[in-house]
Chains A and B, each alone.
Chain A
Amino acid sequence: MAFDKIDSIRAEVFQPSMPEEKLSDHALIEATKNGDETAFEEIVNRYRNSITNYLYRFLNDYEEAVDLAQETFVRVYFALDRYHTQYAFSTYIYRIATNLAISEIRRRKRRRLLSLTGLFQTEEDSSVEFQPTDHRMLQDDELVDDERTEVIARAIAALPEKYRIPVVLRDIEGKSYDEIAEIMELGLGTTKSRISRGRGLLKEKLQHYI
């Protein structure tokens, strides 16, 4: 696994300056603030895959997800002085990633609005297009899996932002309701409601797979 390799590399690289036990995020942040560049590398290594995956499921565009994930870490780095340890770092970084993703989606919408075809799109169509399932028989199971994965990904990407974010954070990233509420800066009840509503919308679109 990639993390295993990273952990082993980290153990070699940070041997002189870091203790054996894993430092907390806050300790790494403090070390970064004090000029320890390797501490920030450790933060990047800890969160790069989860942030990339989250953004990928949010945007359904891998290149864009990687780009925004990198931008997320850059924003974190330059805003370290403003980071308060009263919040969990994971909440903080997911919030930055979410805001970047929302900005990206809105930029896409503006781009579409400016394009000629965008003039004929409605607000409902402005999210990622969802195509119905192709029910033709496929011989290869792997192809079937790929197709299912693709359909689910599109269905997620077709959800409105306010449902997509909590559903992805909950069901794909495995965040708790409390964390999601903090990331989205919403109340717990609203968060749960949105997750439930998002799942309901997905259920309608993915009837064939459930």
Chain B
Amino acid sequence: MGNQDPKIKEPGFTDVGEERISMLLSALPRVEAPGDFGFRVKARIADGRHAQSSAKWLPTVIKTAVPLGLAVFVGGYFALTSLYIPNDPVAPLAAVETAEPVRVHIQEQSIGAQVQPPLVLDKVSEEAKTPSVSDRARETAAKASAIKRPVSRKTATDSDDSGSYVEAASDARKLSPGADPANKPETVVKGTPAGEILTRIGVNALFGESGWKAESVSPNTVASRAGVKAGDIIESVDDQDMTDLGSVAKPATGKKLRVKRDGKSVDIVIER
């Protein structure tokens, strides 16, 4: 391949030296592409095609996977938040509506007097008579109840052998009041303040001279099923003294309450 015609006659030269430089450059020998140039270009194009074809699926996958992952994440979040039931007896729980009849065992005592025969109340919530949960939830609740039952018996009436309690239809159908059957019964963390314990079991109480006085009782809670009424003085929860404003030492489930009503102490034991 020969040199191209030098552009020495163009009018743009400012001086002779510039023109000479232009001639010098145009006189340089030209190099040519190697013989296999076209073949190598073809090979590169083939490589590029392969790379493109192999990379083509990647954006598609990303386009599909990212929204899908996002949808699963968002859906999962809402599913979890809708199914999650906080371990708070005050909050309304779906399981409460379908729970088996709650047995409440109440002992009445005169203050400083001899123990009177226990007053037994069989409190069965009307809404609990119409179960609407699936059998699976019921089985789970039965398991949970079966696990907890020996403890409740011991702490309820068997220990002091005073009073009685009414058995429900079957052990497997016992449900925790105010709690999701799939969850554990509500347990107050150790060292929880007394006021918070009362709030958790559904008693809105104020501490006064006589102790914790129930202002109101939240519906569908342990306290409401136990028959706690406004004006009752909460003396103890799970045998833990509540006459003090301070904290309780042990975890409390609220299954055994002692309230003072009309000058009389009443023990309330909730069987599950």
Q: Give me the interface of A with B, judged by CB distance under 8 Å.
A: 1-3, 41, 44-45, 48-49, 51-53, 56-57, 62, 65-66, 69-71, 73-74, 77-78, 149, 152-153, 156, 167-168, 170-174, 177, 192, 195-196, 199-200, 202-203, 206, 209-210
Contacts and interface: CB of A to CB of B under 8 A. Distances in A.
Contacts of B29: 149
Contacts, number: 108
Contact of B45 (A53, A62, A74, A195): A74
A195 B20 contact: no
B151 interface: no
Given A66-B33, A199-B18, 4 more contacts: A77-B48, A170-B22, A172-B25, A196-B18
What size tier do the contact residues of chain B reach? 20 to 34
30 contacts: A2-B1, A2-B32, A41-B38, A48-B37, A49-B1, A52-B32, A52-B37, A57-B28, A65-B31, A69-B37, A74-B41, A74-B44, A74-B48, A77-B41, A78-B52, A149-B28, A153-B28, A171-B6, A171-B21, A171-B22, A171-B26, A172-B26, A196-B12, A196-B18, A200-B17, A202-B24, A202-B25, A203-B21, A206-B24, A210-B21
Nearest to B2: A1
B69 interface: no
Nearest to A62: B31
Interface in B1-48: 1-2, 4-7, 12, 14, 17-18, 20-22, 24-26, 28-34, 37-38, 40-42, 44-45, 48
A56 B29 CA distance: 11
A192 B14 CA distance: 11
